[in-house]
Amino acid sequence: MIELILEPLEYAFMVRGLLAAIIVGVVCAMVGTYVVLRGMAFFGDALAHAILPGVAAGYMLGNGTSGALMWWAMAAAVLASLGIGAVSKGTKVKQDTAIGIIFAGTFALGIAMISSMRSYAVDLAHFLFGNVLGVSNNDLWMTGILGGAVVLIVLAFYKEFMVLSFDPVLATTLRLPTQLLENLLLVLMAVTIVVSLQTVGVALMVAMLVTPAATAYLITRRLRRMMAIAAGIAATSGVIGLYLSYYIQIASGAAIVLTCTAIFLLVWGWQSMQNQRKNSSNN
| DSSP assignment letter at 208 | H
Provide, rounded to whole angstroms, the least separation between the CB of residue 178 and other proteins. 10
Side chain identity at 277, as an amino acid letter?
Answer: R
Provide, rounded to whole angstroms, the least separation between the CB of residue 265 and other proteins. 21
Of residues 34-63, those binding other proteins (CB under 8 A): 37
Q: Which is nearer to other proteins, 59 or 161 (CB)?
A: 161
In DSSP notation, 27-69 reads HHHHHHHHHHHTT-HHHHHHHHHHTHHHHHHHHHHHTT-HHHH
Q: Per rule CB under 8 A, is residue 175 in the interface with other proteins?
A: yes
Torsion of CA 9, 227, 257, 103, to 10 degrees: -130
Provide, rounded to whole angstroms, the least separation between the CB of residue 235 and other proteins. 20
In DSSP notation, 152-207 reads HHHHHTHHHHHHHHH-HHHHHHTT--HHHHHHHHHHHHHHHHHHHHHHHHHHHHHH
Q: Which is nearer to other proteins, 178 or 236 (CB)?
A: 178
Label residue 279 exposed, middle or buried (CB < 10 Å: 0-12, 13-18, 19+).
exposed
Of 8, 62, 75, 172, the one binding other proteins (CB under 8 A) is: 172
Q: Per rule CB under 8 A, is residue 223 in the interface with other proteins?
A: yes
**How far apart are alpha carbons 210 and 233 in whole angstroms?**
12
Q: Per rule CB under 8 A, is residue 165 in the interface with other proteins?
A: yes
Of 221, 249, 282, 283, the one binding other proteins (CB under 8 A) is: 221
Of residues 180-219, those binding other proteins (CB under 8 A): 217
Q: Per rule CB under 8 A, is residue 118 in the interface with other proteins?
A: no
Q: Which is nearer to other proteins, 71 or 158 (CB)?
A: 158
Q: Per rule CB under 8 A, is residue 158 in the interface with other proteins?
A: yes
Binding window for other proteins (CB under 8 A); candidates: 75-83, 109-117, 154-162, 241-249: 154-162
Q: Per rule CB under 8 A, is residue 260 in the interface with other proteins?
A: no
105-126: b (≥16 Cβ within 10 Å) or e = ebbebbbebbeeeeeeebeeeb
Torsion of CA 91, 97, 101, 104, to 10 degrees: 160
Q: Which is nearer to other proteins, 17 or 212 (CB)?
A: 212
Q: Which is nearer to other proteins, 65 or 91 (CB)?
A: 91
Residues that bind other proteins (CB under 8 A): 37, 156-160, 162-163, 165-167, 169-170, 172-176, 217, 220-223, 225-226
